[in-house]
Amino acid sequence: MSRMEKKMKSQLIWNKRGITLIELLVALVISAITMAAIYKIFISQSKVYYVQDQVVEVQQNVRTAMEILLRDLRMTGFDDDNPSSAVTIANPITAFTDNSITVNYEYYDRTSATYQKYTVAYWRDGGNSRLMRRLTINDAGSITEPVLDNVDVLTFTYGVDDNDDDVVDSWVSAASVGVRRVIAVRVVLTARPNQTNPDVQKMVSPRTLDSIVTMRNLCL
């Protein structure tokens, strides 16, 4: 065997020696850094998804609660005047403040096939931060239930008609209404998401809806 062949054989043997400990440690460190980066991205994306989910949920809840409230306000003063109905709505708006309102209207219950007087009150339960709704039927039994949780703000502003032209002349607080004719209500409703998660508490601000409803049965 020539010297050249011996040298080549020794190089082949040397090249088959495998991975050194240092190379293994370097590979492990690189792998650990890569896995840590992937995990951090995963956690970050999970937080973003959860926060966005909470944003959508609170927006939908506020919108739903507002629609329920506005539906009752639109019905204020409705009187079917059907001959078979004994219901008379003499006082459409029973009571109102800057943070609560109680209205009356006639409702036809298809289940019992009877005309009923609905008295509906809305207010904010400050102790539990809830929007509450109380329904009283025919001035008798009532049902009180929460419509929305985590409510920070519920305010009512009243549109008054001073010259009987069925047009809002000014927006006033409850204390300024007096004997003036109310034909519209502006409702501001603010709620926040569930604050049990610190990420949501830091990243999601309360959501507000500001709506105006014309009490069509009082001005048409």
Mean pLDDT of the chain: 86
- Element of type H or E holding 54: helix 21-74
> How many CB atoms within 10 Å of residue 217?
17
Q: Which two tokens stand for residue 79?
A: 């009187």
d(CA 23, CA 1): 35
Out of 10-24, 51-65, 98-112, 205-219, pick the least confident: 10-24
Question: What pLDDT score was predicted for residue 12?
Answer: 52
d(CA 88, CA 115): 10
Neighbour-count burial for 59-90, b at 16+ CB within 10 Å, e otherwise: eebbeebbeebbebbbbbbbbeeeeeeebebe
Q: Do 91 and 61 touch, CB atoms closer than 8 A?
A: no
pLDDT in tens, 133-174: 999 999 998 999 999 999 999 999 999 999 989 999 999 999
Instruction: Determine whether 92 is exposed, middle or buried from the number of CB atoms within 10 Å of its CB (0-12, 13-18, 19+).
Output: middle
Taking residues 117-144, report their average pLDDT.
94
pLDDT above 90 covers a percentage of the chain that reads 55
| Boundaries of every domain in the chain | 53-219
Q: CA distances (Å), 35 to each of 22, 25, 42, 48, 201, in order?
A: 20, 15, 10, 20, 29
Q: Do 116 and 87 touch, CB atoms closer than 8 A?
A: yes
pLDDT in tens, 11-60: 555 555 667 778 788 888 888 888 888 878 777 766 666 667 777 788 89
d(CA 118, CA 74): 13
- Element of type H or E holding 46: helix 21-74
Question: What pLDDT score was predicted for residue 108?
Answer: 93
Overall size of the chain counted in residues? 220
